[in-house]
């Protein structure tokens, strides 16, 4: 009678667990992959590294950008003799504009333009003495340190290699993450199926034990048969506990891959497909 009650309680508990699992909406594999790509911390770190390599490439390429330079200078000048004599100061205003273009040889080509004005400041009234304007071309080329393309293009080449390597590493990380997510997804589905199988085996063993116990009460079964049935039930219970532990570990691994926090509710996944699939396009 006790065995019958225990069997009934076990069946009710299994039915309740199955009903709770059935009520939980399963997470499709495509959605699981999107979740992993959006929230996985390792992939987020690889994205930041790839972005840093692109920034480094832009910084290396910026060394050859066109530059604009503009300067204005206002000055007053008097000699010591003029100061002693109380003469007025000579004022000047110098303005220069330049466009500079660095090249791979380390040189800088500059186009310059200037406008200058000189006057005497007499009692606050400016008297122009000279106004001049000019334009010029200037080229500066280092011959030793910092000269020639083998030196100046090295940082740009290294930055390009680094950016390409970071993109390849990011692509490899994405593919590895998708593989880990898919393996973890179907691993959890297989673990849940194994739990259901073990629970079915446990119910069958419990039913067989009840049948053997009833037959022994009627004298149609031996004590050895009953002990064998009880041992089978115990083994099936251990198998159920092991399968549930493996399912919990698979759930934890999948949550880690998907970037989800650990929760009390089990993560719902689709059941294993009846037919083998070749790729994600098949489901």
Q: Give me the sign of the Cα torsion angle 276, 281, 282, 283.
A: positive
Distance CA(37)–CA(106), nearest Å, equals 44
- Strands of 67-77's sheet in order across: 67-77, 90-102, 108-122, 125-140
pLDDT in the model for residue 72: 93
Q: What is the pLDDT of residue 41?
A: 84
Alpha-carbon span 69 to 76, nearest angstrom:
24
Q: Cite the beta strand spans of 25-107 per DSSP E.
A: 67-77, 90-102
Q: Residue 119: its pLDDT value, please? A: 78
Q: What is the three-class DSSP state of 69?
A: strand
* Overall size of the chain counted in residues: 283
Q: Is 146 in contact with 106 (CB distance < 8 Å)?
A: yes
Measured CA to CA in angstroms, residue 262 lies from 209, 244, 255, 256, 257 at distances of: 39, 17, 7, 8, 12
Check residue 22 and give its pLDDT. Answer: 40
* pLDDT at 166 (0 to 100): 93
Question: With bands split at pLDDT 50, 70 and 90, how would you rate the model's confidence at 2?
Answer: very low
Distance separating alpha carbons of residues 119 and 201, to the nearest angstrom: 108
The predicted pLDDT at position 126 comes to 54
Give yes or no for residue 280 having a pLDDT over 60: no
pLDDT at 44: 87
More confident residue, 119 or 107: 107
Residue 14 has pLDDT above 80, yes or no: no
Q: pLDDT, tens digit, for every residue of 139-196?
A: 999 888 888 888 888 999 999 999 999 999 999 999 999 999 999 999 999 999 999 9
How far apart are alpha carbons 46 and 63 in whole angstroms?
A: 27
Residue 16's pLDDT is 42
Least confidently predicted of 112-121, 179-188, 224-233, 266-275:
266-275
Mutual angle of helices 154-217 and 2-23, in 10-degree steps: 150
Tally of helices (H runs) and strands (E runs) in the chain = 7, 4
Find the angle CA(155)-CA(157)-CA(158) to the nearest 5 degrees.
65
Kindly report which listed range (86-90, 199-203, 224-228, 236-240) carries the lowest average pLDDT score.
86-90
First and final C-alpha spacing in the chain: 48
pLDDT at 264 over 80: no
Q: Give the pLDDT confidence score for residue 9 in this predicted structure.
A: 39
CA 180 to CA 193: how far, in whole Å?
Answer: 20
DSSP code per residue over 230-267? HHHHHHHHHHHHHHHHHHHHHHHHHHHHHTPPP-SSPP
Copy the structure tokens of residue 127. 């008297």
The yes-or-no verdict on residue 5 having pLDDT over 60 is: no
The band of 277, judged by pLDDT with boundaries at 50, 70 and 90, is: low
Locate all alpha helices (DSSP H) within the chain, ordered by sequence: 2-23, 29-39, 41-61, 80-85, 149-152, 154-217, 223-258
> Residue 112's pLDDT band (boundaries 50, 70, 90)?
very high
């Amino acid at each position: 009678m006790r065995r019958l009650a225990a069997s009934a309680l076990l069946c009710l508990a299994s039915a309740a667990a199955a009903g709770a699992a059935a009520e939980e909406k399963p997470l499709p594999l495509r959605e699981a992959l999107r979740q992993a790509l959006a929230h996985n911390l390792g992939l987020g770190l690889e994205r930041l590294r790839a972005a840093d390599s692109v920034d480094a490439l832009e910084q290396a390429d910026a060394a050859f950008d066109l530059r604009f330079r503009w300067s204005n200078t206002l000055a007053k000048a008097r000699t010591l003799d003029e100061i002693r004599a109380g003469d007025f100061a000579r004022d000047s205003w110098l303005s220069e504009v330049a466009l500079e273009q660095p090249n791979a040889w380390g040189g800088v080509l500059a186009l310059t333009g200037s406008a200058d004005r000189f006057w005497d400041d007499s009692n606050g009234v400016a008297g122009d003495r000279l106004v001049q304007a000019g334009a010029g071309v200037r080229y500066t080329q280092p011959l030793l340190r910092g000269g020639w393309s083998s030196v100046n293009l090295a940082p740009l080449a290294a930055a390009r290699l680094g950016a390409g390597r970071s993109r390849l590493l990011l692509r490899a990380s994405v593919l590895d993450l998708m593989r880990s997510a898919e393996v973890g997804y179907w691993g959890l589905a297989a673990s849940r199926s194994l739990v259901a199988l073990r629970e079915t085996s446990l119910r069958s063993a419990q039913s067989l034990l009840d049948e053997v116990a009833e037959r022994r009460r009627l004298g149609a079964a031996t004590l050895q048969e009953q002990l064998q049935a009880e041992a089978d039930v115990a083994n099936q219970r251990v198998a159920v506990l092991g399968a549930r532990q493996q399912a919990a570990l698979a759930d934890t691994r999948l949550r880690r891959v998907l970037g989800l926090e650990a929760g009390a509710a089990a993560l719902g996944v689709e059941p294993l497909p009846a037919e083998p699939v070749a790729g994600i396009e098949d489901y």
